[in-house]
Structure 1
Amino acid sequence: MDQSLLLVLSNLLHLHNHLDPTTSLLSTTSSSAATPSASSPTSLLSSSSAAPLLFFTIASVLSYVASSSAASANPKSKGNPNSGPSKAGPPSPSSDFSVAAFRALSTEHIWSLEPPLRDARWRSLFGLSYPVFTTVVDKLRPFIAASNLSLPSDYAVAMVLSRLAHGHSAKAVASRCSLDPFLVSKITNMVTRLLATKLYPEFIKIPVSRRRLVEATQAFEELTALPNVCGAVDGSAIKLHRLPRDRVSSSSYRCKYGYDSVLLQVVADHKKIFWDVCVKAPGATEDATHFRDSLLYNRLTSGDIVWDKVINVRGQHVRPYIVGDWCYPLMSFMMTPFNSKGTGTPAQNLFDGMLMKGRSMVVEAIRLLKGRWRILQDLNVGLNHAPQTIVACCVLHNLCQIAREPEPDTAREPDEIGAPARALESEKSFFYHGQNLRQALADELHQRLSSR
């Protein structure tokens, strides 16, 4: 405490003793330092003199001023992490703290490197280049600031991206950044929730505009020779690090590959950019069931989404459609293979081969997603936060694809296994229409390629 404040407190004490010596609280001798009798614990408050009240009031004010001064002199004090100098004082050290804390995440100062070297180093640390990183920070900063988080926005985002890119646990990140594991989990949940809610509408969009439809269908036609393909759908099991104790005995999370997981469903375009993401089912759920439970399915079957690009193929009016494997139901807006064993007619086998070539776009997109954000290879977050973490990684994947970030080396996804999906009674009209469209597309494709 400041010496001048000690002097003032000492003078107040002497003044108090002079005004009311019978209620003196302190003494210069050890013999007079005994506490009041237990039989009269309120004797000090019952005194008729106003001096004790005056002393306590002024002493409390001075003590508060002294503690505030000490905290301002030491902004890193653990007792008051949000304290800082007043507006009239010197500039706030928050910016210095931001830089120092942010640099603590890296093994070297990479700020002065040339852009190519800097971005390469940035990708190795946070999964994306510096320009893309700043884009994420700028878009999330207002929401992070509104949360009254004691850490700077760039530090919070960098810490979460580092965890997503490398798959670190909250405990490992906390040890590296000298933070409490609970705080790391809290910040991770906040940032992933913001990515999955605030940035999702901007970076994951169904292609309803004419321009996007034309671009996507033309690109898929160049790849597959199939007209009006606007996307490819697939599901992927996201492995869970562990299930909560009350879910350990549940078999609904055990996927067909033998581990506990939740199911991710995505639709990707020709650029391997996701335009729809759904995480609503445990890992044992069939792809067709998950698809039918998605918002995309409900919007397509209800006619809420109308793709205004119709072509005529052998008398059939063909609107833009999605391609998927045999685990998805055949519908007018979803084309699937005739069979999984290649035992159809030449036209059908040709169609199946081209369709699976188009489906390869979503398979590659999922491989890139898991390659960039390795936390998805062993998801070590709470089960309640798993969906938002997965969706957040999908948003970041799209940012990387839009910015044309280099594609990392990725592991091969497991081969698809499962029985062909059957049409439900409520889907009969979509199914019969899909059958006619598929056969017309197969015959037209076979005739066109055979005549070359």
Structure 2
Amino acid sequence: MDETFMLMLSNLLHLHNSLDPATSLLSSTTAAAAAASSTSSATSSTSLLTSSSAAPLIFFTLSSLLSFLSASKQKSSPSSSAAAKNDAASASATAAASSSKNDAASPSSDYSVAAFRALTTEHIWSLEAPLREAHWRSLYGLSYPVFTTVVEKLKPYIAASNLSLPSDYAVAMVLSRLAHGLSAKALASRYSLEPYLISKITNMVTRLLATKLYPEFIKIPISRRRLIETTQGFEELTSLPNICGAIDGSHIKIGNGKLKHVSLNQNQYRCKYGYNSVLLQVVADHRKIFWDVCVKASGGADDSAHFRDSLLYNRLISGDIVWDKAINVRGHHVRPYIVGDWCYPLLSFLMTPFSPNGAGTPAQNLFDGMLMKGRNVVVEAIGLLKARWKILKDLNVGINHAPQTIVACCVLHNLCQIAREPEPEIWKEPDENGTPARVLESEKQFYYFGEGLRQALADDLHQRLSTR
């Protein structure tokens, strides 16, 4: 019998003796045995029957109930123990599953090398092509085939740097930063890396894009085939012959904290729109592909000064670029030219509007409208650039690395345009409010020749369109 029951029965005997000492629940023989050993429990039915008190019967009933409870406890104990073990195992399994789920949902596991490898080798090919490309663009700003092109071209250079991370993983990390505008600190938290390492990898990848891939994907249209294709594309759009590109500038905003190490006057970075910036200059073709990029000026400079400081200007002035396509317009020898707004100087190779406010003759105003339609191509190209690579909306890299980061985004933009990637909603630039550019003394001959060309083009356009 259970030791707990024997203890309760012993206490019950002591209580009975104190209440009814004249009657014993046990026979004398059994009582003596019970006193000698706690393991004996034989009761005397004779003493109960002959007792004149009701107490023995009550206490016998209580002892029987306690005996029954004790026996029930012993039977249920093994199953209860097993149930407890099962409950513990179930709780442990639930906790493990919860922990596993939390680990899978944590940023570090979502962006780990293992998760990236699973995405590129298994998951990515289990999706339908449209879903696959849309998913990849949401992560890295471009489709998977374009991503693999970038990786293959950069892989030899990244491998030579002895980077401890896989090349494709490093490129994906940087593209994610450029596409979403993340800071080094935010990206470090996502990828469980130190911010300095994120900055180092970003600088390496953007430098490679801006130097190794630039010559391949940003080219002046010198070849006759591409030159004809470009001029025909612009003529279909504007009815103006021999346009080979459209030029414009754009301010790339930079945080004030990125200028703290600038030794010169920081006010030079304050642009006309009221924030600190560096100035980007691009020339685009009719497909919104950049064929020249320059980032050499702080935000305080104007478009004309930046243009004159560019390599493109020096090559055009010196005649280093030979456009192998010329036409005759009303007796004028017209070589391919680029178009821009009134913030640029009128030159023989750069056509600008007659008037910024439509104050010219009907022929001049018609020419201005068509020229600005051609110029709008580069405005849209810049809008696409900033829409795709959101880091350009508020640049969060050091000022020394700003130019290469901007140029790298231009290279990636061209890759997207060449691959015919879907165009996102265009980022709207502030309205242009610059003053007309003045002509330098050294440019006078180009200006006078440009004046004659512009008027001849305007008169020819007006005549052609008015007779249709």
Classify the TM-score, shorter chain: 0.7 to 0.9
Q: Give the counterpart letter for 1:244 in structure 2.
A: L
Question: Which among 359, 373, 377 is matched to residue 375 of structure 2?
Answer: 359
Q: CA deviation at 1:115?
A: 1.7
Q: Secondary structure at the match of 1:186?
A: helix
Which residue is equivalent to 2:239? Answer: 225
Which residue is equivalent to 1:181? Answer: 195
Q: Secondary structure at the match of 2:347?
A: coil
Which residue is equivalent to 1:93? Answer: none
Q: CA deviation at 1:406?
A: 0.1
Give the whole-Å Cα distance in 2 for the aligned partners of 1:436 and 1:111: 59
Once the two structures are superposed, the pairs formed by residues 70-109 of structure 1 within 5 Å of their partners are 100=114, 102-103=116-117, 109=123
Q: Percent identity?
A: 79
Q: Give the counterpart letter for 2:190 in structure 1.
A: R
Question: Which among 316, 321, 333 is matched to residue 305 of structure 1?
Answer: 321
Once the two structures are superposed, the pairs formed by residues 225-374 of structure 1 within 5 Å of their partners are 225-242=239-256, 243-247=258-262, 250-374=266-390
Give the whole-Å Cα distance in 1 for the aligned partners of 2:232 and 2:215: 25
What is the TM-score with the length of structure 2 in the denominator?
Answer: 0.74
Contact 2:259–2:266 (8 Å) recurs in 1: no
Contact 2:180–2:389 (8 Å) recurs in 1: yes
Aligned residues: 355
Which residue is equivalent to 1:126? Answer: 140
Which residue is equivalent to 2:228? Answer: 214
Which residue is equivalent to 1:117? Answer: 131
Q: Give the counterpart letter for 2:372 in structure 1.
A: M
Give the whole-Å Cα distance in 1 for the aligned partners of 2:159 and 2:191: 20
Contact 1:105–1:177 (8 Å) recurs in 2: no
Q: Give the counterpart letter for 2:260 in structure 1.
A: R
Q: Give the counterpart letter for 2:434 in structure 1.
A: G
Structure 1 or 2: more helix by fraction: 2
Contact 2:242–2:336 (8 Å) recurs in 1: yes
Contact 1:105–1:159 (8 Å) recurs in 2: no
Contact 1:309–1:320 (8 Å) recurs in 2: yes
Q: Give the counterpart letter for 2:183 in structure 1.
A: S
Q: CA deviation at 1:411?
A: 2.5
After superposition, the CA RMSD in angstroms is: 1.7
Deviations 1:379-433 (A, max 9, x none): 0000000000000000000000000000011221111111100110000100000
Provide closer, same or farther for how the CA distance between residues 414 and 105 of structure 1 changes in structure 2, counting only shifts above 3 A. Answer: farther
Question: Which among 396, 405, 412 is matched to residue 380 of structure 1?
Answer: 396
Which residue is equivalent to 1:143? Answer: 157
Question: Which among 181, 193, 210 is matched to residue 167 of structure 1?
Answer: 181
Q: CA deviation at 1:250?
A: 1.8
Deviations 1:232-270 (A, max 9, x none): 000000000233224496211011111100000000000
Runs of 4 or more consecutive aligned structure 1 residues displaced over 6 Å after TM superposition: none
Q: Give the counterpart letter for 1:376 in structure 2.
A: L
Q: CA deviation at 1:446?
A: 0.5
Contact 1:103–1:109 (8 Å) recurs in 2: no
Contact 2:251–2:278 (8 Å) recurs in 1: yes
Contact 1:98–1:155 (8 Å) recurs in 2: no
Contact 2:112–2:191 (8 Å) recurs in 1: no
Which residue is equivalent to 2:436? Answer: 420
Give the whole-Å Cα distance in 2 for the aligned partners of 1:245 and 1:160: 24
Q: CA deviation at 1:212?
A: 0.7
Provide closer, same or farther for how the CA distance between residues 348 and 199 of structure 1 changes in structure 2, counting only shifts above 3 A. Answer: same
Gaps of 5+ in 1: 1-96
Which protein has the larger Cα radius of gyration, Structure 1 or Structure 2?
2
Give the whole-Å Cα distance in 1 for the aligned partners of 2:170 and 2:282: 28
Give the whole-Å Cα distance in 2 for the aligned partners of 1:176 and 1:110: 21
Q: Give the counterpart letter for 1:305 in structure 2.
A: I
Contact 1:145–1:153 (8 Å) recurs in 2: yes
What is the TM-score with the length of structure 1 in the denominator?
Answer: 0.77
Deviations 1:310-366 (A, max 9, x none): 100010000000000000010000000001010100000000000000001000000
Give the whole-Å Cα distance in 2 for the aligned partners of 1:272 and 1:261: 23
Q: Give the counterpart letter for 1:219 in structure 2.
A: G
Matched, 1:406 2:422: yes
